[in-house]
Amino acid sequence: MNPEILKFNGDQERREKVILTGGTEGIGRAIATELAEQKHDVVICARTQERLEQLKAENQIEGIQLDLGDIEKIGDFIRQSSEKMDGATILILNAAVPGIREQDDYTFRVDRDAQRVLVESAADLLRVSNGRIVFLSSPQAENSIKDNLAYGQSKRETTNWLKEFSSKEENKNIHIFSVNPGSVDTRMHDEAINYGGDEIKKRSILIKAEGKLRDPQLVGRIISEMSISGNKFNPETDEYDTPIGNNEVVVISNENIEFEKSLVSKE
């Protein structure tokens, strides 16, 4: 990889080596393309080889085919990713299945068990690099959606497990935080409307009808900024200059969305 040092967002002065789960659609794709545009190294995984090839052709993003339900293959994914980048400094746990059309056992395997194996497999690399783990949480699903229990429970258990992982002495130099992106216009909402139970379908239809679904490109820009800098948006300064605490859950605010929207309009 090109050893060029990149100054990102006015603060950070190293070219990051990012492992991102999921990256061919929705928020994950937005994060991957934003990081690649900023000249950081990115390796993603996805279930479909064709989509990986398309993303690489369009954005020069490295990809490895992996179904996170194949737990035994996760270690190889992390190893291959680190070999491509000569290390790893950030792990972004983006990929999940919504548990709407999937069986519960598969949902738990991907959304809970695979997340733990990903972290454990990357831990040594992140300890060496004083790295960072970013987890996409979903407090709405964790606390309220009865029609989507496996997904919500998996997210909740992963959040709690990351806190336990962080509390271990050997992991003190790994910065861990979660991001609550809010309601985003992704495939999950389409599946909820078309295939979900009564509660989740009603909720998704209402959010969409009220125009409250956020643009995944804007959300991806925000998450990429926070992942690199370790800071969250400060509406008083219009900068990402507020340090994110370890194990903090950062809720993406409407002010943050509007700020990114204004930047896009100027580009």
Q: What is the pLDDT of residues 63-112, one digit of tens each?
A: 999 999 999 999 999 999 999 999 999 999 999 999 889 999 999 999 99
Neighbours of 19 (CB within 10 A): 30
- The kind and range of the H/E element at 218 are helix 216-229
pLDDT of residue 143: 55
Strand 62-65 and strand 239-243: pairing?
A: unpaired
Q: Which residue has the tokens 């989509």?
A: 51
Token pair listed for 145: 């959606």
Predicted confidence band at 7 (pLDDT cuts at 50, 70, 90)? Answer: very low
Cα 246 from Cα 262, distance rounded (Å): 29
With 70 as the cut, is the pLDDT of residue 241 above it?
yes
With 90 as the cut, is the pLDDT of residue 3 above it?
no
pLDDT of residue 146: 59
**Least confident among 60-69, 138-147, 175-184, 255-264:** 138-147
Q: What are the tens digits of pLDDT across the range 244-263?
A: 999 999 999 999 999 999 99
Within 13 A of 28's CA, how many CA atoms are on the CB side?
Answer: 28
Angle at 264 between CA 139 and CA 91, to 5 degrees: 45
Predicted confidence band at 174 (pLDDT cuts at 50, 70, 90)? Answer: very high
Q: Which amino acid does the sequence have at 76?
A: D
Q: What are the tens digits of pLDDT across the range 19-60?
A: 999 999 999 999 999 999 999 999 999 999 999 999 999 888
Cα 46 from Cα 258, distance rounded (Å): 30
Tell me if residue 69 falls in helix, strand or coil.
coil
Name the percent of the chain lying above pLDDT 70.
91
Beta bridge partners of 176: 133
- The kind and range of the H/E element at 154 are helix 149-167
Q: Which of 115, 111, 86 is nearest to 99 (CA)?
A: 111
CA-CA-CA-CA torsion for 89, 137, 95, 148, nearest 10 degrees?
160
User: Exposed, middle or buried: residue 2 (CB in 10 Å: 0-12, 13-18, 19+)?
Assistant: exposed
Q: What is the mean pLDDT of residues 175-199?
A: 89
Predicted confidence band at 144 (pLDDT cuts at 50, 70, 90)? Answer: low
With 70 as the cut, is the pLDDT of residue 157 above it?
yes
Within 13 A of 110's CA, how many CA atoms are on the CB side?
Answer: 23
Q: At residue 94, what are phi and psi to the nearest 5 degrees? A: -100, -40
Domains, the chain, in order of start with CATH, read 17-182+219-251 (3.40.50.720)
Distances (CA, A) of 125 to 147, 190, 252: 38, 37, 28
pLDDT of residue 202: 86
Token pair listed for 171: 């992991």
